[in-house]
Amino acid sequence: MALTRARKGISALLVLVLGSGLSYALLVGKPRPEPETPVEVAIPSVEVVVAAPAVRSLSVETQGTVRPLREIKLVSQVGGRVEYVSPRFAQGGFFGADEALVKVEDIDYQFVIARAESQVAAAEQRVAEEEGRALQAKREWRDLGSDQGNALFLRKPQLASAQAALKASEADLASAQLDLSRTTISAPFNGRVSDKSVDIGQFIAPGVVIATVYDTDVAQVRLPLTDRQVALLDLPLSYDNESPSAVNGAHVLLRTQFANQEWEWQGRLVRTDATIDEDSRVVYAVAEIEKPFARDPRSERPPLSPGLFVSAIISGRQLPQITHLPRSALRSDDSVMIVDSEQRARPRPVEVLQSDNSHVWVQGLASGDRVIVREPRLILAGMEVAVTEAELASGSP
């Protein structure tokens, strides 16, 4: 019994000694940590272009449909049978100003003129008779020894009535002659027939529309402009028609595709619509093109006919401090990242005037600013960067 207890005590003592030794070995024999060299983070490399603000003129691109400047409905002011139709009076036919297009039979109007001339002659005779009687009455009254006479005795009312009748008959004659002249129907400008509704032998009544015609001397195009585009242009917005912008509007280059070829015409902005479109909130500027149907004998360019859909490039006004940058330089919040004198990236807000798929034109940069055009995916404001200067590709506004 005693032997068993002695063995248990010895075992416990051995376990304690071994545990103490092992603990000492772990605590004292542990190797000391060696100092580690910090890993150097590479400075990100960026490409920059040096801003060079300058006075520039930015053009604006828009589009519209060609319309005639004047389009009217020709209406007959007299009635009768159509006895003549011009060979040019056909759909698509061209005609000159005041050229006879349609002639209404005029025999009835000549009869009216003959009767009116007879009435004028009779009225003239009556005036002459009344003038003679008035002169005779004046002499008779003077023979009675008085210079003052009764108006009725001196036949003044009778003479006035005869003169009024003469004026009325002359007016009737002038009206008959005017109706006779209206039997020939023409337009007051060089034009083209877009639609006709009468032909030879047809009877027409006064007020009947015989054709729709439009002016071929000038064409126009309504061009929609956004608020940003309006800021780039010198629009004729003044109410004063003598203002320089109204007389010498911005130059407009029109282009369209016809017969598998691209053609160009020159025009000018002359005015804007009276109101802003309520649905789209855009301003419509009107460009006019002189002689849209004129053709150069050396060119196969087609006429600028109404209905053609055209693209337009409008010359902008001169604006200061405009910087041309690659499109990649512009950030989503309308800002760019520049590199300051301490080689650190800094954001800079800018005003975007115009952009396309490759380029952007902005205001808000100073000359010499280094603008980052290509950067790593993650670059933060204040981060130190290494600069590589890039070449700015040219691009037309």
Residue 165's alpha-carbon distances to 104, 110, 124, 137, 221, in angstroms, are 31, 22, 9, 22, 55
What the block records as the tokens of 50 is 């040096």
Mean pLDDT of 118-124: 93
Of all residues in the chain, the percent with pLDDT exceeding 70 is 80
Q: Does residue 18 surpass a pLDDT of 90?
A: no
pTM value is 0.73
Confidence check: pLDDT of 10 > 90: no
Over range 66-76, report the average pLDDT: 95
pLDDT tens per residue, range 195-247: 999 999 999 999 999 999 999 999 999 999 998 899 899 887 766 555 444 45
Candidate CATH numbers 2.40.420.20, 2.60.40.10, 3.90.1150.150, 3.90.1300.10; the one for domain 46-56+319-389: 2.40.420.20
130-171 per-position pLDDT tens digit: 888 878 777 766 666 555 556 666 677 888 888 899 999 999
More confident residue, 365 or 17: 365
Q: Is the pLDDT of residue 116 over 60?
A: yes
Find the mean pLDDT for residues 14-33: 61
CA separation for the pair 209, 202 (Å, rounded)? 13
- By DSSP bridging, strand 335-339 and strand 351-355 are unpaired
Band (277; pLDDT cuts 50, 70, 90): confident
> Is pLDDT of 104 > 90?
yes
98: pLDDT strictly greater than 90: yes
pLDDT of residue 93: 94
* Nearest partner of 49 among 393, 387, 371, judged by Cα: 371
pLDDT score for 384: 79
Quick one: pLDDT at residue 29? 57
The rounded mean pLDDT for the chain is: 84
Query: Topology of 61-68+215-318 in CATH?
Result: Elongation Factor Tu (Ef-tu); domain 3 (2.40.30)
Q: How confident is the model at residue 90 (pLDDT cuts 50, 70, 90)?
A: very high
pLDDT one-digit tens code per residue, 333-380:
889 989 888 888 899 999 999 888 889 999 999 999 999 887 666 777
Banded pLDDT at 20 (limits 50, 70, 90): low
Q: In this predicted structure, what is the pLDDT of residue 244? A: 46
In eight-state DSSP terms, residue 233 is S
| pLDDT for 245 | 44
- Find the helix or strand (DSSP H, E) in which 319 lies: strand 318-326
Helices and strands: H and E segment counts in the chain: 5, 23
pLDDT of residue 306: 94
The residues pairing with 255 across neighbouring beta strands, listed in sequence order, are: 264, 311
pLDDT value at residue 139: 73
In this structure, of 24-33, 93-102, 107-116, 320-329, the range with the lowest mean pLDDT score is 24-33
**How many Å apart are CA 21 and CA 28, to the nearest integer?**
10
| Banded pLDDT at 190 (limits 50, 70, 90) | very high
What is the average pLDDT across 319-327?
91
Q: Which two tokens stand for residue 393?
A: 């590709």
pLDDT on residue 117? 94
Q: Give the integer Cα–Cα distance in Å for 20 and 327.
A: 73
295: Cβ contacts below 8 Å, ≥ 6 apart: 301, 303
Higher pLDDT, 111 or 158: 111
What's the DSSP call for residue 383?
Answer: -
